[in-house]
């Protein structure tokens, strides 16, 4: 795609978001059956041979262009589509179709002394802008969740995935067009970064922006958006091994949190160990980590026990390694653990391992991260694992949603009031 002139790009994005707004209004009043039917039809179409072939062909163009640019490794892997990943999209659609419809639910209801009947009823947010990077599966996942919750979607994917995303959106459109709902899925068909800036100014037509990707993208979006943004920057997650921990359980939880999938935001980054159990716990745990290929970096107290490990710097404690590296610190107790988490943490997910219900309660109360656990792995901080169904994202800012967000985070509540002629004094 050739670069576009500014004015025409802006015009196009304004038109496209206005279209989304109007289509969103139409979608808001569709019943559950209609929405589910279209999601399942999309699943069937994705599963058809010609569509699979078209998607893989488009994806191979993106992969080729990426290789020419010298892109490799993790980024290339995120970009790549294969039949298994298409299967994943299809499964995702089927799961979303099964989830309860979050729209039209009366969450609260009461009657005022003057007889006014007040309901708080869920309605869609309206138009959701999704700004993401190389992963093409986000196109289907984000669209389907927004659609189920009655929202129109404006998609701006990474330039690396432009051919794949275009093919995916064409597939979505072909399913929606017979119902006249094609404008509920809008795609900004541009590889220009400026398109993001223009989208972020459309506060009259777009209700929320959800950026998905690395911290620099998310910081750019937050700094430039006039539209409310739901986001998390990073996940610097902690496990605190309390003095009264079951140490075998602690080792299993910490290992699972670190090793099961180190590249994700709910993976463990820093382990805090009570000084009274450090010398009993750390040597065995260190061996376990060694076997798993994890590099430990420690403070002086942990290095007194494990002299072979590298020194942890101040920066290490702020770092989201997303890799087989684990920072370790010996703390004097719960107070210091909580202080450490407040200072270095990212409000994402923290766990305590302890047999003491008092200690657990104190930790759960004092740590104000979006997900706090006792005696369980941080890796459960995930919409699917927590039973929310598919996840549209994770919020570490406290407005609207805090923590993993499922369908329920894609609606809001309006006040619906029935009177019999009441006027105000």
Q: How far is the CB of 47 from a second copy (least distance, A)?
A: 26
The single-letter DSSP state of residue 183 is G
Backbone angles phi, psi at 338, to 5 degrees: -65, -45
Report the b/e string of 156-179 with b at 16+ CB within 10 A. Answer: bbbbbbbbbbbbbbebbbebbeeb
Distances (CA, A) of 187 to 137, 154, 161: 14, 6, 12
Q: How far is the CB of 31 from a second copy (least distance, A)?
A: 12
- 112 binding a second copy? (CB under 8 A): yes
Place of tokens 């923290």: 350
- The region of 276-284, 294-302, 305-313, 371-379 touching a second copy under the rule CB under 8 A is 371-379
Q: Residue 417 half-sphere exposure, CB side, CA atoms within 13 Å?
A: 10
- 137 binding a second copy? (CB under 8 A): no
Q: How far is the CB of 165 from a second copy (least distance, A)?
A: 26
| Pairing of β 268-274 and β 310-311 | unpaired
- 76 binding a second copy? (CB under 8 A): no
Q: How far is the CB of 79 from a second copy (least distance, A)?
A: 26
- 53 binding a second copy? (CB under 8 A): no
Q: How far is the CB of 125 from a second copy (least distance, A)?
A: 5
- 398 binding a second copy? (CB under 8 A): yes
Q: How far is the CB of 316 from a second copy (least distance, A)?
A: 20
Distances (CA, A) of 380 to 49, 102, 237: 36, 23, 12
| Pairing of β 127-132 and β 117-124 | unpaired
Q: How far is CA 165 from the centre of its chain?
A: 19
Question: How far apart, in whole angstroms, are the C-alpha atoms of residue 123 and residue 62?
Answer: 38
- 399 binding a second copy? (CB under 8 A): yes
DSSP string, 26-94: HHHT--HHHHHHHHHHHHHHHHSHHHHHHHHHHHHHHHHHHHHTT--HHHHHHH---HHHHHHHHHHHH
Residues in the interface with a second copy (CB under 8 A) total 69
Binding mask 226-265 for a second copy (x = CB under 8 A): x-xxx---------------x--x--xx-xxx--x-----
- 420 binding a second copy? (CB under 8 A): yes
Contact yes or no for 295/310 (Cβ under 8 A): yes
- 402 binding a second copy? (CB under 8 A): yes
Question: How far apart, in whole angstroms, are the C-alpha atoms of residue 147 and residue 240?
Answer: 40
CB nearer to a second copy: give 180 or 419: 419
CB nearer to a second copy: give 57 or 365: 365
The CA angle 182-188-193, to the nearest 5 degrees, is: 170
Place of tokens 């062909």: 57
DSSP string, 97-129: HHSPP-TT-EEEEEE-TTS-EEEEEEEE--EEE
- The region of 61-69, 123-131, 234-242, 309-317 touching a second copy under the rule CB under 8 A is 123-131
- 385 binding a second copy? (CB under 8 A): yes
CB nearer to a second copy: give 80 or 373: 373
CB nearer to a second copy: give 174 or 397: 397
CB nearer to a second copy: give 139 or 151: 151
Contact yes or no for 138/150 (Cβ under 8 A): no
The CA angle 110-403-397, to the nearest 5 degrees, is: 90
Q: How far is the CB of 227 from a second copy (least distance, A)?
A: 9
- 215 binding a second copy? (CB under 8 A): no
CB nearer to a second copy: give 10 or 160: 10
Among 161, 330, 373, 392, binds a second copy (CB under 8 A): 373
Among 32, 244, 279, 375, binds a second copy (CB under 8 A): 375
Q: How far is the CB of 320 from a second copy (least distance, A)?
A: 16
- 387 binding a second copy? (CB under 8 A): yes
Q: How far is the CB of 240 from a second copy (least distance, A)?
A: 14
CB nearer to a second copy: give 139 or 369: 369
Which residues make up the interface to a second copy (CB under 8 A)? 25, 28-29, 110, 112, 116, 118, 123, 125-126, 203, 207-208, 222-223, 226, 228-230, 246, 249, 252-253, 255-257, 260, 342, 360, 364-366, 368-377, 379-381, 385-387, 397-400, 402-404, 412-425
């Amino acid at each position: 795609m050739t670069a576009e002139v500014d004015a025409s790009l802006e015009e196009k994005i304004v038109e496209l978001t206005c279209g989304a707004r109007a289509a969103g209004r139409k979608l808001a009043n569709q019943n559950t059956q209609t929405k589910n039917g279209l999601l399942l039809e999309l699943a069937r179409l994705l599963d058809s041979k010609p569509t699979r072939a078209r998607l893989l062909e488009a994806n191979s163009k993106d992969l080729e262009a990426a290789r020419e640019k010298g892109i490799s490794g993790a980024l290339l892997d995120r970009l790549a589509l294969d039949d298994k990943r298409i299967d994943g999209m299809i499964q995702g659609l089927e799961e979303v179709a099964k989830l309860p419809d979050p729209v039209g639910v009366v969450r609260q209801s009461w009657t005022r002394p003057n007889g006014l009947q007040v309901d708080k009823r869920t309605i869609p947010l309206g138009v959701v802008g999704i700004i993401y990077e190389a992963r093409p599966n986000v196109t289907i996942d984000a669209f389907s969740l927004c659609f189920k919750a009655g929202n129109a979607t404006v998609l701006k994917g990474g330039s690396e995935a432009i051919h794949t995303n275009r093919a995916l959106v064409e597939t979505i459109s072909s399913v929606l067009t017979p119902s006249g709902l094609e404008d509920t899925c809008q795609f900004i068909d541009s590889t220009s970064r400026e398109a993001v800036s223009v989208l972020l100014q459309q506060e009259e037509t777009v209700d929320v922006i959800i950026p998905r990707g690395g911290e620099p993208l998310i910081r750019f979006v937050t700094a430039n958006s006039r539209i409310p943004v739901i986001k998390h920057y990073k996940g610097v997650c902690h496990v605190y091994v309390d003095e009264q921990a079951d140490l075998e359980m602690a080792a299993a939880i910490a290992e699972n949190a670190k090793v099961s999938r180190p590249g994700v935001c709910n993976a463990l980054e820093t382990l805090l160990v009570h000084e009274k159990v450090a010398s009993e716990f750390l040597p065995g745990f260190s061996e376990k980590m060694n076997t798993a290929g994890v590099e430990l970096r420690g403070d002086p107290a942990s290095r007194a026990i494990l002299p072979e490990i590298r020194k942890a710097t101040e920066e290490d404690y702020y770092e989201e390694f997303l890799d087989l590296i684990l920072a370790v610190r010996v703390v004097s107790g719960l107070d210091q653990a909580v202080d450490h988490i407040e200072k270095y943490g990212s409000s994402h997910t923290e766990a305590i391992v302890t047999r003491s219900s008092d200690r657990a309660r104190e930790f759960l109360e004092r740590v104000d991260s979006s997900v706090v656990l006792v005696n369980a792995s941080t890796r459960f901080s995930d919409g699917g694992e927590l039973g929310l169904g598919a996840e549209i994202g994770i919020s570490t800012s406290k407005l609207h949603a805090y923590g993993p967000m499922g369908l329920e985070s894609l609606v809001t509540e309006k006040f619906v009031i029935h009177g019999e002629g009441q006027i105000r004094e």
